[in-house]
Amino acid sequence: MRFVLLGPPGAGKGTQAAILSEKLGVPHISTGDLFRANIDQATPLGLEAKKYTAAGNLVPSEITNNMVKARVAEPDAVNGFLLDGFPRTINQAQALDAILAELNTKLDGVLSFVVGNDDIVVERMLARGRSDDTEEVIRHRLRVYRDETAPLLDYYKNEILTVDALGEVSEVNARALAALGQ
């Protein structure tokens, strides 16, 4: 069970990934969470990442790809994982293909969370009150998503399972499980 969760910031991927991880018994690997943990602990990786996350820019792929490579090789991820927030660029998707090939495995699919329009996303994100969730930074992150990440919908076109991300957490979760055939 190796899945990527795709969708714009504020689509509720993180919430869904946490629930799915519990139900399916595979770790939820969130690059955003990994960066935030490093930032909180002021590790060298965190100090570097903060230069980018604070402004809503992507952390350079070399740093991000190496972090993911190390994380998916950990013992709890041998039977699978849910990747949340990675890949975010074509370069990262190609890096993921290479990382998985080295582990003699591949993705089972990509869950794509679809929301209506930017205003819905901005409203959801302002409600959660994270430090990189000012309206200006959120709108910037949405532009970065459109330019850098949305092309992955085409990259993964043969692997995509679409999930309508509007509605209650439990409703969206039921749709996600159905899309996964659970």
- Does the annotation mark 141 as catalytic? yes
Q: Which of 141, 143, 146, 175 is catalytic?
A: 141
Q: Which of 13, 36, 71, 175 is catalytic?
A: 13
Nearer to ligand AMP, 59 or 160 (CB): 59
Shortest spacing between CB 181 and ligand AMP, in angstroms: 26
CA gap 59, 103 in Å, rounded: 24
E strand intervals along the chain = 2-6, 28-30, 81-84, 109-114, 160-164
Shortest spacing between CB 95 and ligand AMP, in angstroms: 10
- Does the annotation mark 88 as catalytic? yes
CA gap 72, 57 in Å, rounded: 24
Asked if residues 134 and 152 have their Cβ atoms less than 8 Å apart, the reply is no
Residues of this chain that bind ligand AMP (CB under 6 A)? 9, 31-32, 35, 52-53, 56-59, 64, 85-86, 88, 92, 141
What phi and psi values does residue 111 have, to the nearest 5 degrees?
A: -95, 120
Nearer to ligand AMP, 13 or 175 (CB): 13
Task: Give SS3 for 173.
Answer: helix
- Does the annotation mark 139 as catalytic? no
Q: Which of 106, 130, 143, 146 is catalytic?
A: 130
Nearer to ligand AMP, 83 or 179 (CB): 83
Longest dimension (CA), the chain: 42
Q: Which residues are catalytic?
A: 13, 88, 128, 130, 141
